[in-house]
Amino acid sequence: MSLILNGDEVEAGGSVLDAVLAAGIELPHLCKDDNLPAIGACRTCLVEADGRIVAACSFPASMAKRVDTETKTARRIRRGVLELTLAMQAERGDEGGPLAGETASTASREGAAVDRFAVRTGRAVDATSPFFSFHEAACILCGRCVVACQDLQHISAIGLAGRGRDTRVTPGAADTFRESICTSCGSCVAACPTSALRPRGGAE
Amino acid sequence: MSQVAGLPLRFRFLPLLHEAHTRDGWLSREAVETIARQVRIPLAEAWEAATSFPEFRFAAGGGDGGGCGGLSCVVNGAPPSESVHARCRFRCFEAPVSGGEDDFPEEMIRLAGRLLAPDITGWDGLRAASSMGSARALDMIDRAGIRGRGGAYFPAARKWRAALGQGRPLALVINAEEGEPGVFKDRAVLCRRPRRFVEGLAIAVSVLRPAVTVIFINGEAAPARRSVETVIAGAGEVFPGGVEVVPGGGGYVLGEETTLLNALEGRKPAPRLRPPYPVESGLFGMPTVVNNVETIANLSILFREGEAPFLDPDPAAAGGSKLFSVSGRVARPGLYEMPLGTPLRVLLAAAGEKDGAAFAAVLAGGPSGGFLPASEFHRRLVPGLLHPTGAVTGSGGMVVLDTTSDLRAAVLETARFNARESCGKCTPCREGLPRVVESLAEGHTEGLDDLLEVVGAASLCGLGQMAPGPIRSARHFWPELFS
């Protein structure tokens, strides 16, 4: 199966994002873990496929003939989504897990303005686990920690409770991670693309 | 607690939550955890699912105040929805309303065609379909060109063939959530013409032979649920495999079918990625047909009266009638059954002006549609877009504003509704819509068009994708409104 990607014919079997990354093209994908199925929540991997804006992470390459990652429209909309994402963060540090700082570096690469929207975020901190802490002010609700905990580890200590603007990462129905069924396996920290989930002992 | 044959235990999660919520008036953590253990759903997953239904409360006492914040109530003098808990009580025909749902009043059926004619007796349509056999029955549905009345107008026969073509046991799911403010047609059919619907369902079952048949019904629509359950119970031999009636916990986003399937599976009600499409992998991975109540009821007409009622010489019309829910500032609010393709002005003339005030605008298609000014009332109510800025026929909800109405407040109300009903899964909808509301409320519309473009193009599902419609259309037709 082949695909015209930014003008070049490439072989493609999986998702459009797979093809894009295999071709060495940079494209934001904040909620897509390399080793986990697509979530489709962050909407930062938008590209133009045959004239339509689609999320590359979940769009099968076999359904597209021609994909362009850098059209004016795709860039403008990606930038807009990233600007909304940045406005969720009062903390954009890169201290934390291996991917911390991914949001900020991605946004700056795409030319997103940090101040298009006023920042509004929760400020809850949960430092009750001896191994990691959670900082809501850095969380972008991408859902990677949830997939890591529920689908990869099959522990299900973390979930996205509530809906709409009230959605937040919580240790299930528990008030704190210490009271939850968390086993401190570290998968959520490793999956977090911001510094919302940080190992303890480092900067907090 | 009985397990539904062939389905995982977790299918019982939502009905058990609904039962506990109805019994106690709220859901405690302990109640959710107990149910989660019973149906073997991990705790965090159960908690995130339970807390995502807008009608479930998680604190004792208080109640929801009884008021209604739907647009039809707001234009009829109710306070804006920020001040009440309810998003809509779906009794828009008697706005402003308060309190829970009642049986749909017969007198609110203002104009009846074949579908709303006095309810049927016997199962003649079912007998006709059964004697034909699946293949010929499908051809007949195809020839009649029946399209989905939930608002997307997808050809029913194509959807059914796609699911049957998977060659695996399939699921039939009827979406009776009806969570759009200003729409009350499914409740009317289920309350007043339940046999019409049940015969349609029996025909669908005889053609599709599903392994499981589910009616997902709005959790507050108790009268509609009781009515349909009574008819199904009395029709025993017609449903050899039984029918599961599942009450939900509300949410406009349940109109998005993968969200509905997640809710039925005891998961967080948020949209799935497509592909796979429900016809390929829907309820618990089964090929799944999701149809609206009105679509199914039309099958009863087809197999009793043949294709003739559906064959419109005009190819733009999908054929057959449509149930229009008319509310807001009209003299005779209620349900009107008219041919698809009827001009909007004909529908409005039937509903009549209230207190002599001239019609000023119609919100066509609800929060996912758009506003139309009087100069556009000549447009025919055909499937799809009525105007490029957003108005759609949709599921037939028409909220009418007149010269006494505050259009600006109506647009704001619609924007607020979409922001509140966002499931929160994807960033542009969850983060963008509240900022759209602020921009409108404060009258700072600089950059608003760009933001609407982002929300519309980047959102994961139809809720966010279509949320710009009411705002875009209002700004197009009344440019001075927010300046």
What would the pLDDT profile of B430-441 be if each residue is shown by its tens digit?
A: 999 999 999 999
Look at A164 and B426 and tell me if their CB atoms are within 8 Å.
no
DSSP per residue over B78-111, as a string? PPPGGGSS-S--S-GGG-S-BSS--PPPGGGEEE
Alpha-carbon Rg for chain B in angstroms: 21
Flag whether pLDDT at A203 surpasses 60. no
DSSP per residue over B202-226, as a string? HHHHHHH--SEEEEEE-TT-HHHHH
Contacts of A41 in chain B (CB under 8 A): 425-427, 460
Task: Give the model's pLDDT for residue B68.
Answer: 82
To the nearest 10°, the Cα dihedral for A27, A33, A37, A43? -40
Residue of B nearest to A139 (CA): B427
Task: Give the model's pLDDT for residue A204.
Answer: 47
Residue B85 binned pLDDT confidence (cut-offs 50, 70, 90): low
In terms of Cα–Cα distance, which of A136, A139, A131 is closest to A187? A131
A61 touches chain B (CB under 8 A): no
Residue B205 binned pLDDT confidence (cut-offs 50, 70, 90): very high
Say which residues have a Cβ less than 8 Å from residue A10's Cβ, sequence separation at least 6. Answer: A2, A3, A4, A19, A22, A23
Contacts of B46 in chain A (CB under 8 A): 172-173
Among B454, B461, B463, B465, which would you mutate to test the A interface (most chain A Cβ atoms within 10 Å of its Cβ)? Answer: B454
* % of chain A at pLDDT higher than 90: 90
Within B235-364, residue ranges assigned H as helices are 257-264, 293-305, 344-351
What is the SS3 string spanning B379-394? CECCCCECCCCCCECC
Look at A170 and B453 and tell me if their CB atoms are within 8 Å.
no
Residue B33 binned pLDDT confidence (cut-offs 50, 70, 90): very high
Contacts of A107 in chain B (CB under 8 A): none
Task: Give the model's pLDDT for residue B65.
Answer: 65
CB A16 within 8 Å of CB A60: yes
**B400 φ, ψ (degrees, to nearest 5):** -105, 135
Q: Which of A84, A157, A163 shows the shortest C-beta gap to B52?
A: A163
Task: Give the model's pLDDT for residue B5.
Answer: 73
Mean predicted confidence (pLDDT) in A160-178: 96
Cα dist from B155 to B18, B289, B293, whole Å: 33, 12, 15
Residue B67 binned pLDDT confidence (cut-offs 50, 70, 90): confident
Residue boundaries of the structural domains of chain B? 9-50, 112-310, 321-407, 410-477
Quick one: tokens of B200?
A: 């349609």
Residue B84 binned pLDDT confidence (cut-offs 50, 70, 90): low
Task: Give the model's pLDDT for residue B62.
Answer: 66
Quick one: tokens of B187?
A: 């409740």
Look at A41 and B457 and tell me if their CB atoms are within 8 Å.
no
Looking at the domain covering B321-407, what would its CATH class be? Answer: alpha beta
CATH architecture, domain B112-310: 3-Layer(aba) Sandwich (3.40)
Among A163, A165, A179, A185, which would you mutate to test the B interface (most chain B Cβ atoms within 10 Å of its Cβ)? Answer: A163
- Strand-pair category, B288-292 with B244-247: unpaired
Which fold does the domain B410-477 belong to in CATH? de novo design (two linked rop proteins) (1.20.1440)
Task: Give the model's pLDDT for residue A106.
Answer: 95
Among B51, B446, B465, which would you mutate to test the A interface (most chain A Cβ atoms within 10 Å of its Cβ)? Answer: B51
How many angstroms away from the CA of A76 is the closest CA of chain B? 8
A101 touches chain B (CB under 8 A): no
A36 touches chain B (CB under 8 A): no
The chain-wide mean pLDDT, for chain B, equals 94
Residue B450 to residue A80: CA distance in whole angstroms: 8
A17 touches chain B (CB under 8 A): no
Flag whether pLDDT at B372 surpasses 70. yes
Q: Residues in chain A, how many?
A: 204
Mean predicted confidence (pLDDT) in A108-115: 94
CB A185 within 8 Å of CB A86: no
Look at A173 and B47 and tell me if their CB atoms are within 8 Å.
yes
Look at B457 and A159 and tell me if their CB atoms are within 8 Å.
no
A88 touches chain B (CB under 8 A): yes
Residue of A nearest to B41 (CA): A156
C-alpha dihedral sign at B80, B86, B87, B91: negative
Mean predicted confidence (pLDDT) in B28-50: 96
pLDDT in tens, B248-297: 998 999 999 999 999 999 999 999 999 999 999 999 999 999 999 999 99
Q: Which of A85, A117, A166 shows the shortest C-beta gap to B435?
A: A117
What is the SS3 string spanning B113-161? CCCCCCCCCCCHHHHHHHHHCHHHHHHHHHHHCCECCCCCCCEHHHHHH
Look at B427 and A43 and tell me if their CB atoms are within 8 Å.
yes
Task: Give the model's pLDDT for residue B64.
Answer: 62
Residue B140 binned pLDDT confidence (cut-offs 50, 70, 90): very high
A7 touches chain B (CB under 8 A): no
Flag whether pLDDT at B451 surpasses 90. yes
The separation between CA B451 and the C-alpha centre of its own chain, rounded to angstroms, equals 27
Beta strands (DSSP E) in B293-441 are 321-328, 334-339, 359-364, 370-373, 397-402
Task: Give the model's pLDDT for residue B316.
Answer: 65
Residue B425 binned pLDDT confidence (cut-offs 50, 70, 90): very high
A149 touches chain B (CB under 8 A): yes
Flag whether pLDDT at B73 surpasses 70. yes
Look at B454 and A84 and tell me if their CB atoms are within 8 Å.
yes
In terms of Cα–Cα distance, which of A192, A174, A181, A126 is closest to A154? A181
Mutual orientation of helices B448-458 and A72-86 as an angle, nearest 10°?
100
* % of chain A at pLDDT higher than 70: 99
Look at B47 and A164 and tell me if their CB atoms are within 8 Å.
no
A85 touches chain B (CB under 8 A): yes
Cα dist from B356 to B111, B327, B359, B360, whole Å: 22, 16, 9, 12
The chain-wide mean pLDDT, for chain A, equals 94
Cα dist from B251 to B51, B175, B176, B246, whole Å: 12, 12, 12, 14
ipTM over 0.90: yes
A193 touches chain B (CB under 8 A): no
How many angstroms away from the CA of A143 is the closest CA of chain B? 8
Residue B44 to residue B50: CA distance in whole angstroms: 10
pLDDT in tens, B206-237: 999 999 999 999 999 999 999 999 999 999 78
Flag whether pLDDT at B238 surpasses 80. yes
Task: Give the model's pLDDT for residue B79.
Answer: 74
Look at A42 and B47 and tell me if their CB atoms are within 8 Å.
no
Look at A163 and B424 and tell me if their CB atoms are within 8 Å.
yes
Residue B270 to residue B49: CA distance in whole angstroms: 9
Residue A149 to residue A158: CA distance in whole angstroms: 6
Residue of B nearest to A52 (CA): B457
Task: Give the model's pLDDT for residue B237.
Answer: 86
Same fold for the pair B321-407 and B410-477: no
Residue B259 to residue B248: CA distance in whole angstroms: 12
